[in-house]
Structure 1
C-alpha cells in the first residue's frame, strides 16, 4: 500500500508587504473587499471602500504599522514563519508550510510548492471559528484549489477553542507573567469583535470566545470577580459584540479596578490589534481614566508551548 504523502498548512490573516501607504492600501483593498469581512450590499459598500476608506485610511495607518513592524517582513509573517519552522521540527514526517488569507504568501502560491503531496491538513490560526476568519480561509482555499487545478485531498480544522493544550498554554502564559505572579490584577480576555448582525445569524464565534475565557479562568482558579471578557477592534457605525474593550478600560477605574492584565486569546500571533491597539491605545485609555497598572500578556506566537499545542492538534488529523 502506498504511503500517503501529507503536508500541513498554517494560515494566518495576512499583512501589508511593507509599512507604507501603497502596501497598506493594497492589503486593505483585498481584505475589506471580502464579503465575509464586510457583509454590506456590494453596491453600497464598494463605493465607500474605494471612494473614501482606501483614500483616507492608509495614510493614518502608516505610523501604526511602523510602530510594530520590527523586521523586514513585519510581525505576522515573521512570527508565523518561525512557528512553521518549530512545528516542522516536531513533525519531521510531513511538510509544514504557511500562507496568508490576504496578501502574501497567498494560499494558491503555497499550494504550488507542495504539489508532490497527496493530502493537506489546513489549520487556520484562529482558535475560535468565525465566518469572517475561518470561513474566509475556506473560501480562499476553494479558490486556490480551482486556480492551481489541485487534485489533492484537504481537511480543514475549523476551530480549537477548547483544546486542552491550547487552554493550558494560555493559562501558563498568564501565570508566568510578572504582573500575575506579583499582584492580583483583573484579567481581561479581549477577543477581536465581529458585527452583532453576524452573531445574530448564527455565527458560533461569541459562544466559543466565552468558552475559551471560562476554561482559562477555571484553569487559573480565578473567581468571577477577577476576570472579564471583552471585544476589541470594531469597525464602522453598526453594533459589534459587547462589551467593547476600550469602553471597558475607560470604565474599570471608576469601578475600583486599577490593575489589569490583558490577554488576547484569539490572536495566535501579535499584530497591529494587540501591540498598537491594546498595548498602546488601551493602555493610555486605562491610565488616563485613573488606572495604575496595565500589563499585556503576549500572544503565544512561536513559543515552544504554542508549537507543541498546534503540532498535537495537527498530528491528530494525519491519515
Structure 2
C-alpha cells in the first residue's frame, strides 16, 4: 500500500499586512467565480478599478491590528494544526501514519504545489480536508474545482478523497462546546451566547447551496451540547459584502436587537472558522465589540476558534482514520 497524506486546506492569507500584498490576495480570492457570481467582464473592471483600490489599504490596516509576531494568525494556527494532527497520527499508527500537510485555496502553498511536492516523495493517495465545517460552493466548492483541475492536468491521476463537510461531526461539535465551557470557567458566563457564522448571499442558498442549513445544524448541536435553552443563545451571519441580500439575521442586527431588549452582556463565537483569522480577531473581537459597547452594552467576550485544541485535533484524527480506514 502506497503511503498516504492528509492535506488540511484553508482559505489563504496575505503574505504580509501591506496594501500590495492584500491587493494580490484579494484579486485572487475575489476573481474566483465560486466566490462572486457576477458576469466576468463587469466584475473584472469593478474588482480592479474600484474594489481593490478602495479596500486594500483599509484591509491592510485591519491585518496590522491582528498580525502576530510569527506572522498571519491563520497561517500560524494552520501550521499548529498540521503539527498537532501529525503528532497524534504518528503516536497512534507509527510508520503507517499518513503525512500531514497544509494548502491554501488562494495564495501559498497551493493545493497543486502541495500535492506535487508530496508526489515527489512517493505519495499517491491523498485525503483532503477543507477546513470549512459547513459546506458552501463558495468555499469547499472552490477546492473541488482545484481537485478537478489537478485531475485534468495529470497523466497519472493521484488518488484523492475530499471530506465535503463535518458540520455535524460529534468530535467537532464537542471541541466547540469545550472551548466555550473553558472560556466560561475562566471568565464567567454572560447573558447571551451568539454563534456568528460567515455569511453568503441569499441567492446562493436559493440556488441550492446547503450552507445555511449546515450552519443551523451546527448551532443547534452546540447549543444542545452546552445544555442551552432557546432563550439563552442565537445565531447570526457576518462579513456581508456588496448590495445583495445575505443570509440573516446579520450579526450587528442581532446584537442591536438584544441591546434594545435590555441585554447588557454577550459572549460571541464563530463555529464557521476552525482557525482564528481576520474575520474573528478583527471583525468579531474588535469591530462588533466596539459597536456593542458604544451602544450601551457592558460586557462583550469573544471566544476563540477551536484552533489546535486537543479535542479538535482528535476530531480531525477520527475523520482521517475513518476515511483512510486506518483502524482496520
TM-score (norm 1): 0.96
Question: In the aligned structure 1, how far is the partner of 2:109 from the partner of 2:151?
Answer: 15
What's 2:309 paired with?
Answer: 303
Tell me what 2:139 maps to. 133
User: Which residue pairs with 2:236 in the alignment?
Assistant: 230
Q: Which runs of 5+ in 2 are unaligned?
A: 91-96
The offset of 1:179, in angstroms, is 7.0
Name the residue aligned to 1:290. Answer: 296
Q: Kindly indicate whether the alpha-carbon contact (under 8 Å) linking 2:190 and 2:299 is maintained by their aligned counterparts in 1.
A: no
Alignment partner of 2:104: what SS?
strand
Does structure 2 conserve the Cα–Cα contact (< 8 Å) formed by 1:28 and 1:54? yes
Secondary structure, aligned partner of 2:324: coil
Q: Which of 2, 5, 8 matches 2:6?
A: 8
| Change over 3 Å in CA distance of 1:256–1:180 after alignment to 2 | farther
Aligned mates of 1:184, 1:273 — CA distance in 2: 22
SS state at 1:262 partner: strand
Residue pair 2:189, 2:267 contacting (<8 A) in 1 also: no
Q: Does 1:200 align with 2:200?
A: no
What TM-score comes out, normalization by structure 2 length? 0.93
Is 1:191 aligned with 2:197? yes
Distance 1:118 1:110, change over 3 A: same
The SS at the match of 1:117 is coil
1:16-35 matched pairs, under 5 angstroms: 16-35=14-33
The CA distance in 1 between the partners of 2:156 and 2:306, in whole Å, is 32
State which of 71, 74, 79 in structure 1 corresponds to 2:69: 71
CA distance in 2, matches of 1:214, 1:180: 24
Q: Which stretch shifts more, 63-72 or 222-231?
A: 63-72
CA displacement 1:253-299 (0-9 Å, x = unmatched): 11111111101001000000001000000001111111111001100
- CA distance in structure 1 between the aligned counterparts of 2:153 and 2:77, rounded to whole angstroms: 28
Q: Which residue of 2 aligns with 1:36?
A: 34
Cα distance between partner residues in 2 of 1:170 and 1:187: 13
Q: Distance in 2 between matches of 1:290 and 1:181?
A: 21
Deviation at 1:209, TM superposition (A): 0.3
Which runs of 4 or more aligned residues in structure 1 lie more than 3 Å from their structure 2 counterparts after TM superposition?
144-150, 178-181
- 1:214 aligned to 211, 215, 220, which one? 220
Contact 1:175 1:181 in 2 (8 A): no
CA contact (8 A) 1:4 1:119 kept: yes
**Is the contact between residue 21 and residue 59 of structure 1 (CA under 8 Å) also seen in structure 2?**
yes
* Secondary structure, counterpart of 1:286 in structure 2: helix
Residue 81 of structure 1 deviates from its aligned partner by: 0.8
Give the drift of 1:252. 1.5
**1:67-146 matched pairs, under 5 angstroms:** 67-92=65-90, 93-115=97-119, 116-146=122-152
CA–CA separation in structure 1 for the residues paired with 2:295 and 2:236 = 18
Unaligned runs of 5+ in 1: none
SS of 2:22's partner is helix
- 1:20-54 deviations in Å (ceiling 9; x for gaps): 01110000000000010000111221110011011
For the residue of structure 1 that corresponds to 2:103, the secondary structure is strand
In angstroms, what is the RMSD of aligned CA positions? Answer: 1.4
- How far, CA to CA, are the matches of 1:248 and 1:309 in structure 2? 31
Deviation sequence 1:167-213 (CA, Å, 0-9, x none):
11111111111378633420100000000000000100000100000
Residue of 262, 270, 290 corresponding to 2:268: 262
Identify which of 252, 260, 263 aligns with 1:246: 252
